Amino acid sequence: MKIVIGNDHAAVDMKWNIKEYIESMGYEVINVGTNENKSCDYPDIAVMACEKIIKKEADLGILICGTGVGMSLASNKIRGIRACVCSETYSARLCRVHNNANVLCFGERVIGIETAKELVTAFLNAKFEGGKHEVRVNKIMSIEEGTYK
């Protein structure tokens, strides 16, 4: 499984830490984030990361900014992306199990590195349950496609 990671200038340190952590879990990581503290625009990074998922060059994404909010807002504008900003492990696990999220977002200015690692572990180890949850996720996707009835 390949994981794409992205970050803006507010999350460079956390990106390197999390990248190393994900690699230590045995995953290949594609880094599309900035490696500098120079100010940049998080939507540009979100688009680059999400395109990797849409093109099937990556399976899941981890996006980090100051709060995780901007990354999630931008990502959710991309067809086929279900991004969730989380700061506790219950939601980080359930957003895959129930919502089939393909992008996890969080903020370097909000949580510490140990919590971030726990979120990543919960997200990557979880599996979509399908069934009634698939019906609901399909409804979300139909809103995006303009076919919701």
Task: Report, as residue numbers or ranges, the catalytic residues.
Answer: 65, 98
Q: Does 43 bind ligand RB5 (CB under 6 A)?
A: no
Q: Does 42 bind ligand RB5 (CB under 6 A)?
A: yes
Selected from 6, 33, 61, 70, the binder of ligand RB5 by CB under 6 A is: 70
The binding track of 76-115 with respect to ligand RB5, each residue x by CB under 6 A or -, is -------------------------------x--------
Terminus-to-terminus CA distance in the chain, angstroms?
35
Question: With CB under 6 A as the contact rule, which of the stretches 17-25, 61-69, 93-101, 133-141 interacts with ligand RB5?
Answer: 61-69
DSSP-assigned letter for residue 116:
H
The tokens describing 146, both together, are 């303009």
The tokens describing 107, both together, are 């903020």
Selected from 67, 75, 91, 100, the binder of ligand RB5 by CB under 6 A is: 67
Tell me how far apart the alpha carbons of residues 22 and 42 are, in angstroms, rounded to a whole number.
21
C-beta separation of 64 from 106 below 8 A = yes
